[in-house]
Structure 1
């Protein structure tokens, strides 16, 4: 997987992705044929097991997309195995402190920069066939280590999170921001804050991501300058399309 900055530049400055909620390899392949640039395999809000995620990573990459994984929590117990499975990056949800961001991203970096152990015989090391320098470079320089900022305080402290050496991307969590603030993504103050996060990330030379409920919002975030923009998720895309097909089929001509 090429470095995300280069990948973004090759695809017009912004990558388009969606969440993988449905535990199905067929869904992964469909998203690839649909034209998405990346998938985020969701371990926080979907019932994916570690074994399934391993297969999803392989299928996502085989379908021409980058494979990211959202961690289930802050424990970090799966980090080593997810990276050795060949994931192109990890998203750490619900950041509430810089210390947590430091602890989790340290586990994603090889020693002496961090705490990740050597596992060259894994899929990430091409089963021991990849040169050591390539394996280490991919892990430290090419994998995404993105933290999700999901409340007003952490989003306003975005510069503090961007200053963490192991963090190379920040992600705006509009859903939990709405729960804590009562302000939807369309609120002018939220739009302003969303733009500020993007500007801060670009100034720091790091990536920024946001999830959109609709294609209209996805276009807004792409125009703001977001590097990684997600639209909806596989389950909702399917459910809405199915509901629309039923409604149209039953409507009178």
Structure 2
């Protein structure tokens, strides 16, 4: 019997059309993950491509998210079997696999992340994900297939152009939980690089979101402006909203505090 876990909860919410939110996490800090998780965020994405994380950092960050029932997703550095297996075996709730440009890329990510019959993930119960023992070895593959949240990151123009082909993978909604669209890549694809607010970008983004949702998969994307961007992303049907990275939010908080301080001391002539 599979017990209800944080990952089960995230998968179920996505399937029912709920909108969830969480930040990118670049800093290798379990304390920051715990603080974020305590606020009630639905997930964190630990960025192994751009962040300086070691294995020890990653497992501690995953544990910190677990404390408050926050789903710990890992953006692996590349669509590679060892990277994917490593993140899942140490207990990540799920993955965001980057550089998906074709149906073949998507099928490779599924193969690496899922056990038979959905994929060909390397099998070992002697891991954190397996409970450190063979006690539940007969159920291990089934439980992991049911719990693992798998997302694809369409970063390039080619991936966006091949979306229809990717969505044609047999039973894809049983294998993939969300597809993340890079709005900046989409802006370049339609000839308006960097203009993610451009009407043509929004039109294409709306089309992509509808295709993904019609396939029974949750669409995801990034918001840079916490109010306005969140609103129009939700209105278009985006379900996974990724927020500013942890280090940027920390920077902004201190920058705002310092600005207020400077205004006060300048007004009083104390500078």
- With structure 1 as the length reference, what TM-score do the two structures score? 0.90
Work out which of the residue numbers 67, 70, 77 in structure 1 matches 2:72.
67
The corresponding residue for 1:6 is: 12
Note the alpha carbon deviations across 1:75-108, whole angstroms, 9 max, x for none.
3322112111121111111222221221122011
Equivalent residue number for residue 240 of structure 1? 252
Q: Following the alignment from structure 2 to structure 1, what is the Cα–Cα distance between the partners of residues 70 and 161?
A: 32
In structure 1, the residue matched to 2:210 is: 199
What pairs with 1:66-105 in structure 2 (closer than 5 Å)? 66-105=71-110
Residue 189 (str. 1) matches residue 207 (str. 2): no
Matches within 5 A, 1:1-253: 1-2=7-8, 4-8=10-14, 13-128=18-133, 131-132=136-137, 134-164=139-169, 165=172, 166-178=175-187, 181=191, 182-215=193-226, 216-251=228-263, 252-253=266-267
* Two-structure CA RMSD over aligned residues (Å): 2.2
Equivalent residues of 1:39, 1:65 under 8 A apart: yes
Greater C-alpha radius of gyration: 2
- Report the more deviating stretch, 19-28 or 90-99: 90-99
**Structure 2 runs not aligned, ≥5 long:** 1-6
Range that drifts further, 161-170 or 231-240: 161-170
Structure 1 residue ranges without an equivalent (≥5)? none
Number of residue-to-residue matches in the alignment? 252
The worse-fitting range, judged by mean Cα deviation, of 221-230 and 124-133 is: 124-133
Shift of 1:72: 0.5
Do 2:224 and 2:244's aligned partners in 1 also have CA atoms closer than 8 Å?
yes
After superposition, the C-alpha distances for 1:140-166 in whole angstroms (9 at most, x for unaligned) are: 233122111123342233222223344
Partner of 2:4: none
Report the Cα distance in structure 1 between the residues aligned to 2:143 and 2:44, rounded to whole angstroms.
19
TM-score by length of 2: 0.84
1:223 Cα deviation after fit? 2.5
